[in-house]
Structures are given as structure tokens and as C-alpha cells.
Chains A and B, each alone.
Chain A
Amino acid sequence: MEIVGQLQKQFVDFSTSLYHEGFLDEQYLQLQKLQDESNPDFVCEVVSLFFEDSEKLLNNLATALQQQVVDFKQVDAHVHQFKGSSSSIGAQRVKNMCVAFRNFCEEKNLEGCLRCLQQVKHEYFLVKNKLETLFRLERQILEAGGTVPAIA
């Protein structure tokens, strides 16, 4: 049907733009490859887990940076975790922001850390938004009876 085709095109364009803009990288593609008949919702599950994890981490980070005496080691540990999970997902921009964040932690630069936190949050919400859009598109295609095109 027309709509399917349209939706599929929209999907492809959107996905490609995500890759081009650096929101997602190779890793996300790998995740796609892991999804098969035995594991049909793999990507969705992983991404949801990522969202959960990230919200928790961001809260922890905010708390840690609001302490009277900031424990930079603890902050660094959280950022490390965040970096790990974002790179496992393929959220490239988030991961890069985490790298910068870690540098500030090493320097024990509170202002820098706070700024980075804001930026990381920003990036995270961006990518979350994008992924949610992507999933919505996928659902729409499936509901319309089509198949989700694979991105190479």
C-alpha cells in the first residue's frame, strides 16, 4: 500500500539522518542484526533498558554533584557506566559527551562537570526522542502490514 511505502521511506530517511548526524553509530546496526525470529524485540528491549538505566544514572549524577563535598570518584564511576551503556547501544553523541565529562571529573572541575551534565542530559533526551520516533515509525509500518526495511 501507498502508506506502507511512504512510511517505509520516512523510516529509511529518518534512520539515515540519525546515522549521518551522529546520533547513532555502527553499534546500533549490530544490534539490529541480533534481532531475529527467536528474539524479535531485542532492540526494543535493549533500548528500554538503556532508557531506564540512563534516567537512574542521570539522577545519581545530579545528586552527586549537588553534595557539599563532591566525590569526583563517584561521579566518574557513574559517568563511566553511562559511557559503557551508551556505547553498547550505539548512542554516539551521548558517548562522546561522556568522554568529555570524564575529563572534567579527572580535573575535579565542578563547573565543567555541571556543564557537562547539562549537555549529556540534553544529548540523552535528544537521542531518546529520536529513538522513540524511530520505534513509533516501526510500529506504524508493522501495523500497516509492512515490513521494516533493514538499514545497511
Chain B
Amino acid sequence: MEYCNCFESPWPADELLMKYQYISDFFIALAYFSIPLELIYFVKKSAVFPYRWVLVQFGAFIVLCGATHLINLWTFTMHTRTVAIVMTTAKILTAVVSCATALMLVHIIPDLLSVKTRELFLKNKAAELDREMGLIRTQEETGRHVRMLTHEIRSTLDRHTILKTTLVELGRTLGLEECALWMPTRTGLELHLSYTLRHQNPVGLTVPIQLPVINQVFNTSRAVKISPNSPVARLRPAGRYMPGEVVAVRVPLLHLSNFQIHDWPELSTKRYALMVLMLPSDSARQWHVHELELVEVVADQVAVALSHAAILEESMRARDLLMEQNVALDLARREAETAVRARNDFLAVMNHEMRTPIHAIIALSSLLQETELTPEQRLMVETILKSSNLLATLINDVLDLSRLEDGSLQLETGTFNLHSLFREVLNLIKPIASVKKLYVTLTLSPDLIEHAVGDENRLMQVLLNVVGNAIKFTKEGGISICAFVAKSDSLRDPRAPDFFPIPSDNHFYLRVEVKDTGSGINPQDIPKIFMKFVQSQPLATKNPGGTGLGLAICKRFVNLMEGHIWIESEGLGRGSTATFIVKLGIPAHSNDSKLPFLLKVPGNQIKLNFSGLKVVVMDDNSVGRMVTKGLLVHLGCDVFAVASGDECVRAVTSEHKVVFLDVSMAAVDSFEVAIRIREKFSKRSDRPIIVALTGNTDRTIKENCRKVGMDGVILKPVSVDKMRSVVSDLLEHGYLVESQ
């Protein structure tokens, strides 16, 4: 076959295809060799690739494929047998590896796919966790807000501030448009708008408490979403805007009685206030759960804070009330004191002013009686005298009684002769008794001591009164007076069961019974006898004498003497017995019975008793000291005179019988000296008698002397006789019965 003689292309025409194949194979081989390289490169770069050996396998597969294609290049032309063998080997290997790889991929691809799904899953989870964390953060913030709110609310005890603060803080925390508090009215039938956040002055809006929406809120402790159109939420005139969501919660108003000591308060209270919270109207905000929880917690806290404020208010009110009462009481007391003082002043004035004219009348009438008078004149003068005497007695009685009543009367104590007191009373009433032809007997028990310590005058007054009454109400027969020492069994009077007289070493109880054969007393009247101004038999007898005060006064005196007085009578016409028991002191010196004799002995015998009597005189004034010493020396004492307290305490021994301390000494405190001397001698028998000499008539000096334990006080200037009697008194009694 011979064609044209045109150019001879290197390649024959049907070899063009072969040419393209040849180029393609070349590029394939190139690509196939570079892919593994790329793979290795990138895998080396990445940190994690779990399937290395797969990669190796894949690499081998690709390399071999590439090798195959490469070797293919040589097969286009005539090739030797070696090439064919190499080609065949390569192809066989490639076949093996590619089959192996294909089989492997079956396992691997699902795995790889699942990795992808896991990745998606993890991403989802991460998103969820993110959301949850957002929630927790919100909750924590809410908690913080609650704490802050609580702190604000509880930091004040003023009710108004608490509520205002609550609204303000809530408004701020939750970004509220409006927040309002409705409080129940006193009647409990309505809710009254008390506080709002934005409105400055809430008008007196009230809603009845029985609205369904309100009941709904009150029945649960949770915050409840309510409609913005309900009456409690309609706080401002309806605007153009959509009102935001509204929530209402109840605030329990706890009473004090709700708090039990160890339990938490039961929410059994019936009273609630209503808190209404409104979100801003234009926002799309909704109430979130955590916000509702916040509101509930705050409502509870407000309840507690309010109760605290209420408790505080109560206690402040109670305290104010007490203070007021105190002031009033003080005023009343001062008024009473003023009244008492005014009365005392009045009495004092009356005393003097009224007694003076009366005494004048009595004195002049008595004088008049002595002159020459006609019988009618005499009668008139006698009447005048009797009336004025009566008046005088009346004034005295009233004065005495009022003094007795306010307790300002004090008994005067002194030693007196008991026996002679009775005799004197006897002598006073004998004339009257004999005029009425009544007998009077006096029996003094033998164990009744001669001398007693007590108020002689008042005892005489009591005795006279009782005896006088006996005589007054006796028309015939007589009276008998018995006096004896009351023994313990006889002391108890069944009619005075609370009177338990207890005799002791220093005191005894004198019992006097005055029996009369007179008109007697109706047993029913007996309790009234000792009452003021009540007279027995006001109508029966014509004995209008007396004020009716006598027995009342007697009773007072007897009570002051720690005793008891009573009257027994068997009835009208059967006579009566008046008995009184009084407490009298026993004079301290045991040689009581020798007293009268000693006192009646003439002066020189007493001097004999003094001779050699060792005494100490303390006076810092040399002149005074010398005079006192001289005085005592003149009386026969053995005097040791000292000028200072120390010297005195040093000098006093148990031989000295008396120590005279000058109390007007400026430098030394004589009281201290007295105390030191007493301390020096513990046994009473060793101790000398301590007497104070003072020119000061102040009562307090006497009191102070008594307090430090001095045995007596002598007022300067001292005369010889005074000193003599004082010293004898001292030696006999061991103390001075009266300050001389």
C-alpha cells in the first residue's frame, strides 16, 4: 500500500489515539504519585488521624496504580519482555492492593461518618450547656437581688420606709413600670391603695376584698399573673399602649400573737396585703419564673420586716405610755405631798391661833369664877368654862389624832415610875368617883417592876381615858383597875389572833384591866367603839361629853406602843372590861430596886461613890480641858487629861470607868476616837463609858454620838451639880437616859 508522498508524521494517524493515551497515562502517573505525597504531607501536619495504616494502604494502592500507568507508557512502542513482566507484576500487585483497600473501606467509611454525627451531637450539647449556664447565672443574680432587697428592707424598722424601699428596690431590680401595695383597711372588708412606686400621692382608692382575683391571689403563696384590667391593676387611666403583664402576690401581715417562741409563725393569719407589679407596657417582656420567685421571697421578707416594725412600734408606744403615767403619778404624788404639807401648816396655825384665844377664855373665866358673882352669873360663867374646856379638848384631840394618823407622832421614851403613875391616875379620878359615890380599887401585881421605859405621858393619857370612860358610864358600883405583867399564854387574845407579843430581856408587856359595873355595851357596838367620832349609846344617855375621839386616840397610842386594846362586855347593863397591853422597856441596870434609895441619898454620899473614880478627859482646848478636869477633880475623880485622840486611845485602860470626849474639837474627829476605844475593849465589862461633851444643841450631833456607840451626850456649859448628877446616872445605869 502506497499512499501519497506527503509529509511523514512522526506518528501514524491511528497512532494519534495512542499518543493521547500516552500523555494521559503520563499525567495519571504523575497525579497518582503526587496524591500520596500530599496525603502524607497533610496528615503529618494534622495531629490526629486515627487511620494511619489505612493511609499507608491507600498510598500503596495509589502508588502502584501510578506505577502501572507509568509502566504503561513503555508499552506503547515495542517493548521487551522485561517490561512486560514488570508491567504484569505491577498490575498484579495493584490488583491485590486495590482489592484489599476496597474491602477495608467498607469498614472505615461508616466509622468516618459516625465521627461526623458525634461532632454534631457534641455541638448540640455545648449549646444546651450554654443555655443552662445562662439560666444559672440569671438565678444567681436573682439571688443577689433578693439578698440586697432583703438587706434594704430589713435595715430599717420604720414601717413606711420598709414598704417604700420594697417597692423602689423591686421596681429597680425587675425594671417595673409600676408597683403598688394594697393594705387591708381596719374593717378588713376593703383593700386600700397605700403605696405606689410612680404615683406620688395615691388617692384613696379602695377595692372590696372579696373580688375573685384577690381571693385567687390570697389563696396561694405564689405570685399569680393577673389580668391588667382587674381593678387592682388599673392604677392609671387607660393609655394607648398595651399594658404589660401584671403579677400579684400576697404579703402576710403577721400579728405578734403569731410568733410562738420556738416555732416559725403559722401562716394562719387572715390578713394579707396585696402587692401588684406591672411590667413596662411597651416591651415584649414576660414574667420569668425566677422573677416570680424573687417576688415571692421578697413578699415574705416584707411580712417579717413589717412585724418587727409593728413590735417596735408597740413597745415604743407602751414605753411612752409608761412615761406619761410616771409623769402623772409623780405629779399626783407631789400634789399629795403639797396637800399634806398644806394640811400640816394649817393644823400648826390652827393649833396656835385657836389655842391662844381659848386659853384666854379659860383663864379669864376661871379668874372670874373667883370673884363675887350672883348665882345666875356663876352659872353662866361655869357654863362658859365648861364649854371652853370642851372646845380646848376637842382641838387637842383633833390635833393629836391627825398627828397620829400621818405617823408624825413619835413616842417619847424615858424612864418613869410605873407604880407612881398608877397612883397619880388614882388620885386624879378619886374625887370624881367619890362624887358619883363609886369605889375605885387599884391592884398592882407584885412582879410588876417599879420602873419602866416608855412614854409616860401618853401611857397616862391612855390610862386616864380608859378609866375616865369607865367612870363616865358607871352610875353605881365602882371600877377596879388591875395591872400585871402579861405572860405568854395570857398574851394572846382570841379576838386579835394576829397579835403575837413576844417578851424579851429588854421589854415586858404591861397588861391593865379596868372593870366597871356600869351600863355595859351592846356586843354589836363593840367593833365601832374605837372608831373615830363614833360614840356608844348616842341616844340612850345624856352624856354628851367627849368628842368620841378619846378611844380612837387611845388605840393609836397603844398601837404605837406595840400593844393592843379591846373592850369586853356581856351586854347592856352588865358592865364592861377594858383591857390594854402595851410594850414597855426594862431599864438596863440590874440594880433597879436600889435606885430610889440612891437618888434620895444626900450629896456627900454620892461623892463618896465617886472618889477615886478613874476617868479620862479629852479636849484639845487647854482652857476647856483644865476646866473639865477641875470639875471632875472637885467631884473626887482621878482624872487623866489628854489633848489628842491618839493619846486618848493610848491612855484608856480597863481601869478607867468613864471617858469624856469633847466633841467640838476641830482637829480630831471625836467619833473616831469613840469607835477606836470601843474596838480596843471587846468585852463590855472592861469598856469605859464614853460620854460626849458639846456646846452644840443640834440634834444631829446627838444622833451621831448614838450611832458611834457613845453612851451619852452632855451639853456644855456644865455646872457642878449637872456633872454630879450625870456621873451618878452614868454609874447607875451605864448610860444616860436623857441628855442632860
Contact = CB atoms under 8 A, between A and B. Distances in A.
Interface stretch (A23-31, A108-116, A134-142, A144-152): A23-31
Interface string A27-47: 100110110101100100110
A77 B620 CA distance: 12
A14 interface: no
Interface string B714-726: 0011111000000
Interface string A70-88: 0000000100110011111
Contacts of A132: none
Interface in B649-689: 664, 666-667
Given A26-B717, A30-B717, A89 B666 contact: no
A42 B632 CA distance: 13
Contacts of A31: 627, 630
Contact of B666 (A36, A38, A80, A86): A80
B124 to A, nearest CB: 104
Contact of A39 (B630, B666, B667): B630
B633 A53 contact: no
Contacts of A86: 623
Contact of A80 (B622, B664, B718): B664
A42 to B, nearest CB: 5
B236 to A, nearest CB: 82
A49 interface: yes
B626 interface: yes
Given A26-B717, A30-B717, A87-B716, A49 B623 contact: yes
A50 interface: yes
Give the residue among B620, B626, B627, B718 with the most A Cβ atoms within 10 A: B627
Contact of B623 (A30, A36, A53, A80): A53
Contact of B634 (A33, A49, A77): A33
B666 A87 contact: no
B546 interface: no
A89 B719 contact: no
B624 A85 contact: yes
Interface string A2-37: 000000000000000000000000110011011010
Interface residues of B, number: 21
B719 A88 contact: no
Nearest to A51: B623
Contacts of A84: 621, 623-624, 664, 695
Band of interface residues on A: 20 to 34
Given A53-B623, A87-B716, A88-B623, A46 B630 contact: yes
Nearest to B667: A77
B635 to A, nearest CB: 9
B444 interface: no
Contact of B622 (A27, A39, A49, A90): A49
Given A26-B717, A30-B719, A89 B627 contact: yes
Given A42-B630, A80-B664, A88-B627, A33 B621 contact: no
A87 B667 CA distance: 18
Contact of B624 (A34, A38, A88): A88
A87 B631 CA distance: 15
Contact of B719 (A26, A42, A45): A26
B383 to A, nearest CB: 49
Interface in B580-624: 620-624
5 contacts: A30-B720, A33-B634, A53-B622, A86-B623, A87-B695
Interface of A: 26-27, 30-31, 33-34, 36, 38-39, 42, 45-46, 49-50, 53, 77, 80-81, 84-90
What 6 A-B pairs come out closest when comparing CB atoms? A85-B623, A88-B624, A84-B621, A88-B627, A34-B630, A34-B634
